Amino acid sequence: MKLIDFGRRSGLRVARASIGGMRLPEDHDQAVAVIRRAIDAGMRYIDTSRGYGESEVKFGKALKGGYREKVILSSKWSPWIQKVEPDDAPTADCMLKRIEDSLRRLDVDCIDFYQVWNVHSPELFEAATRPGGTLDGIRRAMSEGLVRHTGMTAHDKPANLLAYLPSCDWCEVLLLSYNLLDTSCAPVLAEAHRLGMGTIVMNPLAGGRLAGTSPELENLARECGAKSVPDLALRWLLSNPDIDTYISGINKPSDVDGAVAAAEAGPLAPEAYARVNAFAAAKSRTAVGYCTGCGYCKPCTQGIDIPEVMTRIYEDRVWGLKDAAAARYRRMGKPRADACTDCGNCEAKCTRSLKISDEMKYAAGNYELKK
Ligand X SMILES: NC(=O)c1ccc[n+]([C@@H]2O[C@H](COP(=O)([O-])OP(=O)(O)OC[C@H]3O[C@@H](n4cnc5c(N)ncnc54)[C@H](OP(=O)(O)O)[C@@H]3O)[C@@H](O)[C@H]2O)c1
Instruction: Pick the binder of ligand SF4 from 89, 162, 293, 332 (CB under 6 A).
Output: 293
For ligand SF4, give the closer residue by CB, 98 or 328.
328
311 scored as a contact of ligand SF4 (CB under 6 A): no
300 scored as a contact of ligand SF4 (CB under 6 A): yes
For ligand X, give the closer residue by CB, 113 or 290.
113
Q: Quick one: what does residue 47 bind among ligand SF4, ligand X, none, with the CB cut-off 5 to 8 Å set by partner type?
A: ligand X
Q: Which residue is nearest to ligand X (CB)?
A: 249
CB of 361 to ligand SF4, least distance (A): 9
Interactions with ligand SF4, residue window 193-222 (CB under 6 A): none
CB of 144 to ligand X, least distance (A): 24
297 scored as a contact of ligand X (CB under 6 A): no
Instruction: Pick the binder of ligand X from 14, 22, 276, 356 (CB under 6 A).
Output: 22
- Among 150, 50, 155, smallest CA distance to 104 is for 50
- Among 185, 181, 239, smallest CA distance to 209 is for 181
79 scored as a contact of ligand X (CB under 6 A): no
CB of 201 to ligand X, least distance (A): 8
For ligand SF4, give the closer residue by CB, 147 or 291.
291
CB 36 within 8 A of CB 67: yes
Q: Quick one: what does residue 23 bind among ligand SF4, ligand X, none, with the CB cut-off 5 to 8 Å set by partner type?
A: ligand X
For ligand SF4, give the closer residue by CB, 108 or 346.
346
Q: Residue numbers of the site for ligand X (CB under 6 A)? A: 20-23, 47, 117-118, 153, 155, 175, 202-208, 211, 230, 247-249, 251, 255, 258-259
Q: Residue numbers of the site for ligand SF4 (CB under 6 A)? A: 291-297, 300-302, 304, 306-307, 310, 340-346, 350-352, 354, 356-357, 360
